[in-house]
Amino acid sequence: MELRIGVIGIGAMGRDHVDRINNRVNDARVTAISDINQEEGLKYGAEIGAEFISNAEDLIASDEIDGVVITSWDPTHEEYVLEAIKNNKYVFCEKPLSVDSAGCMNIVNAEVEKGERLVQVGFMRRFDRGYEDIKKELDKGQLGEPLLLHCTHRNAEVDSKYDTPMAVENTAVHEVDALRWLLQEDFVQAEVILPKKQTTNTHANLHDPQFMLLQTESGVCIDIEVFVNCKFGYDINCKVVCENGEIGLTNPTYYSIKTENKDYKRVPSDWKERFIEAYDKEFQLWVEGIKQQRITGPSAWDGYMASVTTTALSLARDTGEKTTINFEEMPNLYKQEQFV
Ligand code: NAP
């Protein structure tokens, strides 16, 4: 059976997901879309053979939709996810689940009240081959306990709308989720150090780069460099230093060029290229989950934990102080699938 998917928000990410659902994911097709921009929505709907429904709530409530994808503006996510839960609809929500942890908790509470998981959050790094392999090796235990993690998240450049808070909330949020999943434990302390000298390639509203420090419950220490105007490409690194060795991502090898006494390796240009396989896999898992009525991908609880952590990082950056990360007790609904 081919699932009928409705996509709300057809900007860059929405269109990318439409393309993967229609062309690379099995057993699903985008049959309806919604966007605040009606003219663009009608045009794009006609292009991909999907109905344009101007009111997102009508798309969510439609009997002809089996699953909803939310790729609209961040502040709309909570409202649409809650609407999907109310209508007993499976929903894939791009990160962030909500703009704050109270909003994430509203979603967790609504799902707990329903008594079943309907929500999957777009933390695609868990589906990246490199991260998956690191997790498998750590889980085997031969490397011993992880002690330290060194991570970098670099973009070639960002536009003028990208500001200082976004380095935590839109960028480091991916490390926050992936590292919590890798280590299978929560973070308890956050700190952010702003280098005295920032890049001349930034603008007045963006402090770039930023250096973030996290500590887990068991005392693993993590540093994350976020540098979003690094100029040379999209560069994601993660090294885990353990008692008996070190394990880390290698740069994905697309191709190398030897010329003029130099040996070049290509660096991905952006996240779409770097994580294309991971995005495809996260959607395939979501579709399988709907078919089996059992969602196992990143949960609303993971969305909440990412939010409490990024909130603490933002506070730490703004105050210049180490910040304790406080969170609620995990409801039973999420215990079984925790860190799958
Ligand atoms: P975008 O290009 O600005 O697209 C958002 C779309 O939603 C736009 O078409 C926007 O219309 C529309 N929209 C705004 N308010 C709406 C509403 N109330 N109802 C319906 N549609 C509405 O942004 P994007 O880069 O695609 O990002 C979309 C989401 O994906 C964001 O939440 C972002 O954080 C997430 N994202 C995730 C990743 C990842 O790696 N997982 C990467 C990139 C983005 P207007 O343009 O007219 O405002």
User: Sorting pLDDT into bands at 50, 70 and 90, what band is 340?
Assistant: low
| % of the chain at pLDDT higher than 90 | 92
Is residue 233 left, alpha or beta, with left meaning phi > 0 and alpha meaning psi from -120 to 50?
left
Q: Which residue ranges have their beta carbon within 6 Å of ligand 1? A: 8-14, 34-37, 56, 71-74, 76, 94-95, 122, 124, 170, 271
- For the CA atoms of 258, 267, 151, 337, the dihedral, rounded to the nearest 10 degrees, stands at -120
CA of 145 to the centre of ligand 1 (A): 39
Dump pLDDT digits (tens) for 229-282: 999 999 999 999 999 999 999 987 778 899 999 988 888 999 999 999 999 999
CA of 214 to the centre of ligand 1 (A): 28
Q: How far apart are CA 156 and CA 163, in angstroms?
A: 15
Q: Output the pTM of the full model.
A: 0.96
What was the pLDDT predicted at 197?
85
Residues 202-225 have a mean pLDDT of 96
Atom 35 of ligand 1: nearest residue by CA position: 94
Report the 10 Å Cβ neighbour count for 265: 11
All residues at 6 or more sequence positions from 46 whose CB lies less than 8 Å from its CB, including other chains = 52
Please, are residues 100 and 314 in contact by the beta-carbon 8 Å criterion?
no
Of 271, 277, 283, the closest CA to residue 18 belongs to: 283
CA of 198 to the centre of ligand 1 (A): 29
Please, are residues 91 and 114 in contact by the beta-carbon 8 Å criterion?
no
Please, are residues 173 and 95 in contact by the beta-carbon 8 Å criterion?
yes
